[in-house]
Chain A
Amino acid sequence: MKLFGWFGDKALHRGVHVPECKEQTAHLPIRRMNFPPVVIVPMSQHAGTPAIPIVKEGQEVVRGEPIARPDGFVSVPMHAPVTGKVERIALAPSARGDLSLAIYIRPYPAASQEVLYGEPQNIDQMSPEEIVRAVQETGVVGLGGAAFPTHVKMKLPEGRTVDTVVVNGCECEPYLTTDHRVMVEQPRAVIHGTRIAMKALGAPRAIIGVEDNKPDAIQALRDALAAESAITVEAVPTKYPQGAEKMLIEVLLGREVPSGGLPSEVGVAVFNVATLAQIGDLLPRRQGLIERVITIAGTAVRKPGNYLTVLGTPIRWALEQAGATEQAASVILGGPMMGPTISSLDVPITKGVTGILVMARDSFNSRHTIFPCIRCGACVEVCPLHLNPSRLGMLARKGRYEEMESDFHLMDCFECGCCSYVCPSHIPLVQYFRVAKQMNRERKARHAAASA
């Protein structure tokens, strides 16, 4: 709660101001990372059904060649990130902790790594349906972290229209600067991708929302746009979690996505800038997604920066390249607000990984005693969804998970972490909510099993 409200309309009213910590990498141009000795391509790098391998062990693959086909509509193909030999197809650990099927490819050290696969296609002559199919072929998923297949977002349910495409260039998580660098270095790809998305959805206009702590990105995009009128670039005041799609829609358009609903219900589709940059880049050449930009930063890394990394690169390799120091004590996949710490370095970088933070011990003041909730209401003030984390937390402590869902909208929470961030009692609210959601899911599954 602040003494003075924000009277400007285009800003997030809730949420928090977190330390940005972006100066470490924001100015560093994207560099290519060396290929690892082995790449691990999991079949499930996206939300939806896992892909099905179409290669065999021992088979040679060319960089860019499809190696797995989608299983159904809500699924995407995988492409070989490197030219090399399929070493084995086996279960591999993932960052979530469980095992999933993956294709291990050993790159040929001497082979050309130019992408030879793919052929040009003329997008202007394609129908929206054809674009959706083409996007699925590229294997592009939401690169902002959610990893939801992009073509699914481009396919509207019957009778629904989208009037605005919102391009999410906020990147509100501290430390991360991948989207920032993509906007600065590839503004044309972003805009091209935006046009493709508009065409696929039949949307007459698009807004690129960029937080005002990235003036160079805004400038680059505006320069690339020239006199174009259908696409506009809007600077929004920096605040976390503005990069969440519901929040950005509210800030830019003043529309509220119904609880449990999709943005298309209010005529909006939201895409991450990096996602659209990839589409703008890959679609005309009919190529697949094989690499992405990640930020490697943190307090225990010698060469922080934005690295163009082939998908499937083991994190251990990536950290060796960036030079993690002796002090490194924890590795966070993604940003410090929502990213999980990982326990194993032998998991690969997948399509949804936006960054890797290598932190020295005690980089965060996280060793506090937990006090009981003193009902200060700070969490209620910051929750972007207007939930009541204080009450939710107290219910969670007593194990009253069902009530949390039925009466206090637990399922709306997207775990942005604002409540935990501000809590003076240091209650790990978000963690409570994760547990509660999981317990509810398990209970429902049990019920379903029992009634079946």
Chain B
Amino acid sequence: MPPLAPEIELRTSPHFHSNRSVEMIMRNVVYALLPLCAFSVWNFGLSALALILVSVLSCLVTEHLFCWLSRRKSSLGDWSVTITGILLALTLPPGFPLWMVAVGGFVSVGLGKMAFGGLGFNVFNPALVGRAFLQACFPTAITAYSPALAKNRFTEFIPTTFTPPFLQPPPLADWIERVRVDAFSGATPLMQQKFDKVTADWQPLFFGTVSGSAGETPALLILLCGAYLAARNFMDWRIAFSMLASAFVSGAAFHFLNPAVYPHPWFVLLSGGLMLGAVFMATDMVASPVTPTGVWIYGALMGLITVVIRNLGGLPEGVMYAILLGNAVSPLIDNLTQPRVYGVHPRRRTA
């Protein structure tokens, strides 16, 4: 038998390999996000499109820049930075000034990801680091929401979109007055609930035809996209499920203590960024625990913090902070919930 000699293949076992890869997982998450982007554009118009494009572009450019600076191969091919870009855009108000979006993209990738060594090493969800930065930096601009299904949304941009760099966005009130189709006053359902105790109907919340951040409104669509990812095992459904369940339960507890002040748990579940956060951001693999018990605790913790911030805190929305805090606690959860190794009695913890 003469072959084998010239170029023999020496590998280490296992020689078999499942056909899943990082690139494939990330690409599928991008696929799952595309319907949300499409809905966002339909709901908010051209500005949402510009928002998403600029966000993705700035993330891509930043990642490329950092790879170049550290003399590494460009890591754009693994799609993860595209996810960051899309997620960042989906959490911003549709008319958010584009120059601020670009800042957010830069901070997301630069501070949230590349500073820690890139894919796999980020402690926090990069998109949310960027979002939190923007929220703290530009508190006025990030709470300037525009109405859903505005007139002329496919023919004109929201006036704040093209704010010149480093300048404040113009006030939106007059424009809203002109384009709105309902009694929209510049407040999202969450803000109305928080400050005026007006709870929105469930249908618009469920189908997403309300004001809010670009991609957080369509609860149903988010669930469907999440279901696709969960079914193909590209996402840890347990995190999303436990986060939503815990938010529901704690929301219910608050509601039944004081129904006049605290919203119904269904409202908690459907409003704001909870769905988007639970399905697409809390499940960020890199920043969440790996242990089977850990993921349940992690999700439950984030759900609880979300509701506590929403109901007791000063802000109408707490999902972003809840997930960032969850990310911060996740190594601790990981340490405390190391799986009990087969055959090791009694349960021993490793710190």
Question: Which residues of A come within 8 Å of B, CB atoms?
Answer: 1-3, 16, 18-19, 174, 246, 250, 256-261, 316, 319-320, 324-332, 336-341, 343, 345, 359, 361, 364-366, 368, 371-378, 380-381, 384-388, 390-391, 407-409, 412, 415, 417-418, 420-422, 424-426, 428, 430-431, 434
Instruction: Indicate if B120 sits at the interface (CB-CB under 8 A).
Output: yes
Q: Is A336 a contact of B12 with CB atoms below 8 Å?
A: no
Assess the A428–B12 pair: CB atoms within 8 A: yes
Report if B155 contacts A (CB, 8 A). no
- 11 residue pairs of the A-B complex, CB under 8 angstroms, read A1-B237, A246-B342, A336-B16, A341-B12, A345-B1, A361-B9, A364-B17, A377-B291, A412-B343, A415-B13, A417-B14
> Which of B78, B342, B343 is close to A371, meaning CB atoms less than 8 Å apart?
B78
B238 touches A258 (CB 8 A): no
- Cβ contact within 8 Å between B10 and A337: no
A257 to B19, CA, bound (A): 33
Q: Do B15 and A385 have beta carbons less than 8 Å apart? A: no
- A442 → chain B, closest Cβ, in Å? 19
For window 134-160 of B, CB contacts with A under 8 Å fall at none
Chain A residues whose C-beta falls within 8 Å of the C-beta of B345 in the assembled complex: 256, 258
- A422 and B290 contact, CB distance less than 8 A: no
Nearest-CB residue, chain B, relative to A255: B343
Q: Do the beta carbons of A430 and B13 come within 8 Å of each other?
A: yes
| Chain B 8-35 interface 0/1 with A at a Cβ cutoff of 8 Å (1 = within) | 1111111111111111110000000000
State whether the Cβ of B167 lies closer than 8 Å to any Cβ in chain A.
Answer: no
The residue from B1, B3, B16 contacting A364, defined by CB atoms under 8 A apart? B16
> Which of A1, A246, A256, A373 is B236 in contact with, Cβ under 8 Å?
A1
Residues of chain A with a CB closer than 8 A to B15's CB:
332, 336-337, 339, 341, 359, 364, 366
Asked if residues B1 and A365 are in contact (CB atoms below 8 Å), the reply is no
Known contacts being A256-B342, A327-B3, is A365 close to B120, with CB within 8 Å? no
> Would you give the shortest CB distance from B189 to chain A, in whole angstroms?
31
Minimum distance in angstroms from B127 CB to a CB of chain A: 15
Q: Which of B206-214, B270-278, B333-341 contacts A (4 or more CB under 8 A)?
A: B333-341
CB distance from A334 to the nearest CB of B (A): 8
Neighbouring A residues of B340 by C-beta, 8 Å:
386
- In angstroms, Cα B80 to Cα A373, docked, is 13
Report the Cα distance A210→B214, complex, angstroms: 56
The 0/1 profile, CB within 8 Å of A marked 1, for residues 282-307 of chain B is 00011111111001000000000000
User: Given the complex, which residues of B lie within 8 Å of A340, measured CB to CB?
Assistant: 12-13
- Size of the B side of the interface (Cβ < 8 Å), in residues, is 55
Chain B residues closer than 8 Å to A422, beta-carbon distance: 18, 20
B11 touching A366, Cβ below 8 Å: yes
Most chain A CB within 10 A, of B13, B14, B16, B290, is at B14
Find out whether the CB atom of B4 lies under 8 angstroms from the CB atom of A345: yes
* B341: A residues at CB distance < 8 A: 259, 385-387, 409, 412
> Is the Cβ of A424 less than 8 Å from the Cβ of B11?
no
CB distance from B347 to the nearest CB of A (A): 11
Q: Known pairs A325-B3, A341-B10, A364-B15. 7 more at Cβ < 8 A?
A: A1-B237, A320-B1, A329-B7, A330-B11, A332-B13, A371-B23, A385-B343
**Complex A-B, nearest 5 residue pairs according to Cβ-Cβ distance, in ascending order:** A372-B120, A417-B14, A330-B9, A377-B290, A259-B343
Contact A424 B25 (CB under 8 A): yes
With contacts A2-B233, A426-B21 taken as known, whether A259 is within 8 angstroms of B342 at the C-beta atoms is yes
Q: What are the residues of chain B within 8 A of A331 when measuring CB–CB?
A: 4
Give Cα A387 to B291, complex, Å: 10
B231 at the interface (CB under 8 A from A): yes
Which residues of chain B are near A430, meaning CB under 8 Å?
A: 12-14
Q: How far is the CB of A362 from chain B (nearest CB, A)?
A: 9
Out of B11, B78, B80, B350, which one reaches A408, CB within 8 Å?
B350
Write out the residue numbers on chain B whose beta carbons fall within 8 Å of the beta carbon of A408.
338, 350
B53 contacts the other chain (CB 8 A): no
Residues of A within 8 A of B343 (CB): 246, 256-261, 385, 412
B285: chain A residues within 8 A (beta carbon):
374-377
A418 to B339, CA, bound (A): 16
Residues B237 and A3 in contact, CB atoms below 8 Å apart: yes
- When A1-B236, A3-B237, A375-B285 are in contact, do A337 and B14 touch as well, CB less than 8 Å? yes
Complex: A449 Cα to B20 Cα, angstroms = 46
B230 interface residue (CB < 8 Å to A): yes
Contact of B338 among A1, A364, A388 (CB under 8 A): A388
Residue B260 lies at the interface, judged by CB distance under 8 Å to chain A: no
CB neighbours (8 Å) of B121 from chain A are 372
Task: Judge if B344 is at the interface, Cβ distance under 8 Å.
Answer: yes
B119 contacts the other chain (Cβ, under 8 Å)?
yes
Query: Within 8 Å of chain A (Cβ to Cβ): is B204?
Result: no
What residues of A have a CB within 8 angstroms of the CB of B344 in the complex? 258-259, 409, 412
Instruction: Tell me, rounded to whole Å, the shortest Cβ–Cβ distance linking A5 to chain B.
Output: 11
Interface string of B230-265 (1 = CB under 8 A from A): 110100111000000000000000000000000000
Contact A431 B342 (CB under 8 A): no
A368 to B285, CA, bound (A): 21
Please indicate the chain A residues that have their CB under 8 angstroms from the CB of B7 in the complex. Answer: 329
Given A259-B344, A386-B340 in contact, is the A373-B120 Cβ separation under 8 Å? yes
B4 touches A328 (CB 8 A): yes
In the complex, which of the residues A330, A331, A364, A374 has the most CB atoms of chain B within 10 Å of its own CB atom?
Answer: A374
Determine the distance from Cα of A19 to Cα of B15 in the docked complex, in whole angstroms: 12
Q: Mark B318-351, 1 if CB is under 8 A from A, else 0.
A: 0000000000000000100011111111000011
Shortest distance from the beta carbon of A322 to any chain B beta carbon, whole Å: 9
A351 to B290, CA, bound (A): 40
Give chain B residues whose Cβ lies under 8 Å from the Cβ of A425.
21-22, 120
Complex: chain B residue closest to A258, CB-CB: B343
B4→A375 contact, CB < 8 A: no
Q: Find the A residue at minimum CB distance from B73.
A: A369
Chain A proximity of B30: nearest CB distance (Å) = 15
Assembled-state Cα–Cα distance A273/B87 (Å): 55
Quick one: which of B17, B21, B295 has the most chain A CB within 10 A? B17
Contact B292 A365 (CB under 8 A): no
Q: Are A1 and B233 in touch, CB under 8 angstroms?
A: yes
- In this complex, which of A331, A345, A364, A424 has the most chain B Cβ atoms within 10 angstroms of its Cβ? A424
How many Å from the CB of A197 to the closest CB on chain B? 23
Q: A330-B9, A372-B120, A372-B121 are in contact. Are A420 and B1 (CB under 8 A)?
A: no
Counting chain A CB atoms within 10 Å of each CB, which of B9, B285, B295 scores highest?
B9
| CB atoms of A374 and B9 under 8 A apart | no
- The distance in angstroms between the C-alpha atoms of A261 and B344, with both chains bound, is 10
